[in-house]
Amino acid sequence: MKIKNVVIIGAGAMGSGIAQIAVMAGYNVTLVDIKDEYIAKGMSSIEKGLNKLEEKGKLKGTSAAALIGNVNTTTDLAKAAKNADFCLEAVIENMDVKKQVFKTLGENVPKHCILASNTSSMSISEIAVASGREEQVCGVHFFNPAPLMRLVEIIKGEKTSDVTVAVARSWSYSLPCLKGKRYCPIVLKDRPGFIANRVNAPTMILMQWAIDKCAEKGIPFEQLDTDAFNPMSPMGPLVLTDYVGLDIAFHTMQYYVKTLHPDFAPGKVITEYVEKGQLGMKTEKGLFEWPKGKKPILERTKKANLFTVEELYAIQANESCRLLEEGVVKDWTTIDKTMDAGYNAPGPMAFLVDGNREKWPKLLNELADKTGREYLRPCELMKSSAYRELRVVK
């Protein structure tokens, strides 16, 4: 199937980044949002990215102006859908809003069109039902910032056809990545958070506990980020939450409460910040200050001593074992490669496999006792250490 016309719905951080690389790959792009001012903000970010590449001489045989000219914009989704070959939804992380978008798409796109969602965590199968064409819907999950991060997870919903998966995957591979080579693994089961976000998910349980503890005791949040400091990771978990958006983290946790475990409930601090619109980088203030979107410079002089980097790896490894138990992925080598491509940081499983097998379940039980969060206890595969055999050796 030849894809020419691509419609991106949502002109925010993700939609604008994906529109930029889609137009760079030669597609005719239509960017859709609900208000002209949101479209203007998205277009200005695309323009900034393309101008930067032009200055560096990295736009071969074209110009930023010519590429910008290939991006159409509209607030009329139904009209934009009429000529679409491929639609990618990147609206806010809210199931009802996503379903409404997919309903409109289902009613208006041509028969052959593939529909994809960039949701961070939500069920592709449920979103797909709203479109009335479930075989042609799948998850195409980019990481932030989409032009720079290598990972795109391709998620198969319950009724997604193999053709849809193949087309979505080859489309994802066709988009340029400004830092390295794209990696687009197929997620075998439509489970909350897919692979990379799911592995990271229970670290959010620990963070909610620790952030609220800091607030209670008057400990600055930067000391928590120092607890988590890992030279192999470009951003600590707190800075990353601000970068992604506290609203995205909040809605994702609420979704995990419904679909995984009550321990995922957002803490007091995050709830309060989201209620008052203090959402992180995009509002220049979250857990930290982001003046003009600039990354906060943290003083790493003192720790809060509420957790260790080793404990974070243990939590991620335990969740990786749950993904193997659930059949979301068949081997842990893929999990580590996915984490590396999605977060530019090493995945947890190589550490687990090389370490002392009794140590990790013990550590996780101690963590569950310390925080009162039962979800952090070791799962069966982690306790058995049979995960060692589930690897791909090349």
Which positions are annotated as active-site residues?
120, 141, 153, 197
Q: Is 178 in the site for ligand CAA (CB under 6 A)?
A: yes
Query: Is residue 164 within 8 Å of residue 133, measured between CB atoms?
Result: no
CA angle 245, 96, 3 (to 5 degrees): 80
Residue type, 213: K
Task: Tell me the C-alpha distance between 334 and 63, whole Å.
Answer: 37
Nearer of residues 52 and 169 to ligand CAA, judged by Cβ: 52
R_g over Cα of the chain: 21
Residues in Cβ contact with 380 at an 8 Å cutoff, skipping those fewer than 6 apart: 325
Residue closer to ligand NAD (CB basis): 153 or 311:
153
CA angle 305, 306, 311 (to 5 degrees): 105
The contact pattern for ligand NAD, residues 6-45, with x = CB under 6 A and - = no contact, is ---xxxxxxx----------------xxx---x-------
The binding track of 210-249 with respect to ligand CAA, each residue x by CB under 6 A or -, is ------------------------xx----x---x---x-
Reading phi first (left if > 0) and then psi (alpha if -120 to 50, else beta), residue 145 is in beta
Residue 354: Cβ within 10 Å count: 7
Binding positions for ligand CAA, 253-292, rule CB under 6 A: none
User: Which stretch in 79-87, 115-123, 210-218, 336-344 sits in contact with ligand NAD by CB under 6 A?
Assistant: 115-123
Spatial distance between the Cα atoms of 158 and 258, rounded to a whole number of angstroms = 19
Q: Which two tokens stand for residue 347?
A: 């995945």
Residue 245 engages ligand NAD in binding (rule: CB under 6 A):
yes
Q: Is position 343 an interface residue for ligand CAA (rule: CB under 6 A)?
A: yes
Task: Please provide the size of the chain in residues.
Answer: 394
Residue 118 near ligand NAD by CB under 6 A: yes
- Per-residue tokens: 57: 């001489």
Q: How far is the CB of 114 from ligand NAD (least distance, A)?
A: 18
Cβ closer to ligand CAA: 19 or 364? 19
**Phi and psi for 140 in degrees, rounded to 5?**
-130, 95
Stretch of 130-138, 200-208, 240-248, 371-379 lying at the interface with ligand NAD (CB under 6 A): 240-248
Shortest Å distance, C-beta 186 to ligand NAD: 18
| One character per residue 49-88, x = contact with ligand CAA (rule: CB under 6 A) | x--xx-----------------------------------
The listed partner (ligand NAD, ligand CAA, none) that binds 140, CB under 5 to 8 Å by sort, is: none
Distances (CA, A) of 338 to 9, 139, 154, 181, 204: 25, 15, 11, 13, 19
Q: Closest CB to ligand CAA among 10 and 342?
A: 342
Residues that bind ligand NAD (CB under 6 A): 9-15, 32-34, 38, 90-93, 97, 101, 118-120, 142-144, 244-245, 248
